[in-house]
Amino acid sequence: MKALFLNPYLDTLGGGEKYMLDISFALHTLEYDTYVAWNDTTLKEKIMSRFGNKYSYINVYKEWNAYSPLKRLLNSRTFDVVFYQPDGSYPLSFAKKNFALLQVPNLNLVQPKSTLQRLKKKRWNPIFNSHFVKRFFIKNDHTMNGPVVYPAISDTFFSSPTKKKYIISVGRFFQHLHAKKQETLIKAYIFACEKYPQFNQYVLFLVGTSQPQDEHYVRYLRKISSPHPNIRIETNYTYQQLQKLYSEAQFYWHATGYGESEIKNPQKMEHFGISIVEAMASGAVVFAYKGGGPKETILHGKTGYLYSSRKQLIEYTHRCMDNSLLREKLSQKAVDRANDKFSQLALTKSISQLL
């Protein structure tokens, strides 16, 4: 059996791309040969460098993008299933099954612009990465109904080493769409250190990647954090370094959506938040803004906390600093929930039911 994956954003290798790769891993375990259409044969090396060696089975299908539309159509018949990340248009596929992965609450990415596109769209069955995203599409387009398949966490995140006094946040450094709002976390941390001396014992790690056009934002973050020695901004962590940091962190902060309206600007919320569930699997207590995907991944007060203001973020965190029993209870409940809902096994089970 053969599976093809089409994603125009593979040059970024963010959470959305990892979602597609984990679906490919599910198919690989179900004995499918998996092909990723991309014109750079070094893609596999970049994937393994970014996300680990588990994806070494992938075949990079360099020829696909060089084919004419007709040849692509004819070639699609050789695949049992195709997964596609929409970018505003739909290819025509004659594969036995075709799925469109809808991860962003943005109609412009999926609404057909012509009669031909509407016809092609009918060949694609939607899959949503969260109920938040699914509700958005059903509200705006009743034809977009389909299952929710949660992204997966790599098994290596489930570990229980000795925790250190680290607060971490992981995500790309950028300021558009669902920005991670690292400046919000820096300002909250500095304010917390002034109010509660205990915060000064903790190191705040902000870890992520950045594109050349976002370097000015990274410089800005370094500038506002420079007076405080316990704030570290890291843009070159390897996958192994990141996993180690997750495993050592007591707390995880997330600010995507902060100060935005979920109703007016749903695209500025966290759509799912793979870094949040990776932190949960690693036993970190997560504090995320109360909007979008985190409202369904975190059980407030049981597996982490959802906050609506900077004051709440600081107070919830301080409460856990002062109460080791509470912190350990939340940590274990977070690991249990991540294993139950967001493991690779759970994703594979969901995908196998669709095939």
Residue 217 lies in a domain: yes
Q: What DSSP assignment string belongs to 63-104?
A: GGGGS-HHHHHHHHTT-SEEEE--SS------SSEEEEEE-S
Domain boundary among 102, 122, 149: 149
- What is the rounded distance in angstroms from the CA atom of residue 301 to the CA atom of residue 187? 24
194-198, Cβ contacts within 8 angstroms, sequence gap of 24 or more: 195/314, 196/314, 196/318, 196/321, 198/318, 198/321, 198/322
Which residues have a Cβ under 8 Å from the Cβ of 216 and sit 6 or more positions away? Answer: none
In DSSP terms, 60 is beta-bridged to: 36
Answer whether residue 236 shows pLDDT above 90.
no
On average, the pLDDT of the chain sits at 93
pLDDT beyond 90 at 328: yes
Q: Tell me the per-residue pLDDT of 290-324, one tens digit each, with 9 for 90 and over.
A: 999 999 999 999 999 999 999 999 999 999 999 99
Number of domains composing the chain = 2
Whether residues 46 and 178 fall in one domain: no
Query: Burial, 133: exposed, middle or buried (Cβ in 10 Å; 0-12, 13-18, 19+)?
Result: buried
80's tokens: 């049992």
Q: Are 270 and 288 in contact (CB under 8 A)?
A: yes
CB 54 within 8 A of CB 22: no
pTM here is 0.91
Chain-centre distance for alpha carbon 288: 14
CB 352 within 8 A of CB 26: yes
Residues 195 and 110 in one domain: no
Q: Could you read off the pLDDT of 120-178 as tens digits, one per residue?
A: 888 899 999 999 999 999 988 877 889 999 999 988 888 767 899 999 999 999 988 78
Average pLDDT over residues 60-76: 94
Averaged pLDDT for residues 272-279: 94
Q: What is the pLDDT of residue 176?
A: 80
Q: Are residues 163 and 312 in the same domain?
A: yes
The range of the structural domain enclosing residue 226 comes to 157-341
**Whole-angstrom distance, CA of residue 185 vs CA of residue 204:** 9
Residue range 189-200: average pLDDT? 97
For the stretch 73-77, contacts whose Cβ atoms lie closer than 8 Å and that sit 24 or more positions apart, written own/partner, are 76/4
Return the half-sphere exposure (C-beta side, CA atoms, 13 A cut-off) of residue 40: 10
Neighbours of 354 (CB within 10 A): 14
Helices (H), 249-289: 274-281
Last residue of a domain, one of 149, 178, 197: 149
Q: Indicate if 177 and 304 belong to the same structural domain.
A: yes
pLDDT of 109 > 80? The answer is no
The CATH code of the domain that includes 20 is: 3.40.50
Q: Name the nearest CA neighbour of 42 among 9, 10, 83, 76.
A: 10
Give the Cα separation of 107 and 127 in Å (integer): 15
Q: Among 119, 149, 179, where does a domain finish?
A: 149
Asked whether residue 353 is assigned to any structural domain, the reply reads: no
pLDDT, mean of residues 204-226: 93
pLDDT at 118 over 80: no
What is the side-by-side order of every strand in the sheet holding 304-307?
231-234, 203-207, 164-170, 249-254, 285-289, 304-307
In a domain, residue 263? The reply is yes
